[in-house]
């Protein structure tokens, strides 16, 4: 019985074919680029980020009354939300650009889960005016990633934002903190679990501990999403223990 033979191209030919495939995909992405990450509508090929103008316009900053501590919208005449009236946090104030719903939620899922890194430039552009107007003279300190994230995923979304704020917009950034090993991902825990999970997890970078007067007096923590504020509070505790007088926080969205 005859056996049908299949041939495998030499390694060199395989590399060439792979290169052609990648080039073809790149050309197609230029001719027919991926749509808007929010609505899947068309995006101009010259747009620096995969977000259509209509969806970008819908991302508005709530100018109404906010909690003095967490920065989330409040509907009462009181200056603190229900949670912040009873909770103790170490940061002085936080300001989220958006609520983690609708357009903002889809945008952040695309940025974080789908690794659409070009969105960092858009988000940083939206952060800049709020940072300059609300937190002048503050040094930005990014919340550090969990150990192994850079090695496993190749990037950190908060560091991307910090780098753009520093190198493109000229804002002062100091990478002062490190997160220790252990613990679970915050998103898998309830409110009390999140609080317990971060206790003792953050510390000043060892190189900073060996220097005097290296912690700024006014610090602005930078993170992507705030849920309970436990991570920001723990980071603020560390910074205040080493000399910071005022520690606030700027986040892209609050859940």
Q: How far is CA 45 from CA 50, 57, 193, 225, in A?
A: 9, 19, 44, 29
Report the distance separating Cα 119 and Cα 107, nearest Å: 8
Kindly report, residue by residue over 31-60, the tens digit of the pLDDT. Answer: 445 799 999 999 998 999 999 999 999 999
Instruction: Calculate what percentage of the chain has a pLDDT beyond 70.
Output: 76
Kindly report, residue by residue over 117-160, the tens digit of the pLDDT. Answer: 999 999 999 999 999 999 999 999 999 998 888 888 889 999 99
H/E stretch holding 254 reads strand 246-254
Q: What is the mean pLDDT of residues 99-106?
A: 97
Q: Residue 166 above 80 pLDDT? A: yes
Give me 223's structure tokens. 């993170």
Architecture of the 59-254 domain: 3-Layer(aba) Sandwich (3.40)
What residue ranges do the domains of the chain occupy?
Answer: 18-55, 59-254
Give me 217's structure tokens. 């007096």
Q: Residue 28 above 50 pLDDT? A: no
């Amino acid at each position: 019985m005859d056996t049908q033979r299949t041939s495998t191209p030499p390694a060199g030919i395989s590399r060439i074919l792979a290169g052609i495939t990648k080039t073809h995909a790149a050309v197609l992405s230029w001719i027919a680029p991926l749509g808007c990450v929010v609505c899947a509508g068309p995006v101009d090929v010259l747009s620096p980020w995969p977000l259509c103008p209509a969806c970008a316009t819908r991302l508005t900053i709530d100018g109404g009354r906010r909690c003095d501590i967490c920065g989330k919208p409040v509907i009462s005449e009181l200056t603190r939300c229900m949670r912040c009236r009873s909770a103790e946090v170490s940061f002085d104030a936080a300001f989220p650009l958006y609520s983690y719903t609708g357009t903002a939620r889809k945008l952040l899922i695309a940025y974080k889960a789908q690794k659409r890194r070009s969105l960092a430039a858009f988000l940083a552009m939206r952060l800049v005016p709020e940072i300059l107007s609300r937190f002048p003279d503050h040094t930005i300190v990014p919340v550090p990633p969990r150990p192994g994230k850079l090695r496993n995923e190749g990037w950190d979304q908060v560091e991307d934002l910090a780098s753009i704020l520093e190198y493109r917009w000229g804002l002062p950034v100091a990478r002062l903190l490190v997160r220790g090993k252990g613990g679970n991902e915050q998103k898998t825990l309830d409110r009390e679990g999140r609080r317990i999970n971060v206790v003792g997890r953050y510390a000043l970078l060892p190189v900073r501990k060996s220097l005097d007067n290296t912690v700024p007096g006014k610090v602005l923590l930078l993170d992507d999403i705030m849920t309970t504020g436990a991570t920001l509070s723990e980071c603020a505790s560390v910074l205040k223990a080493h000399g910071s007088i005022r520690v606030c926080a700027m986040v892209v969205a609050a859940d």
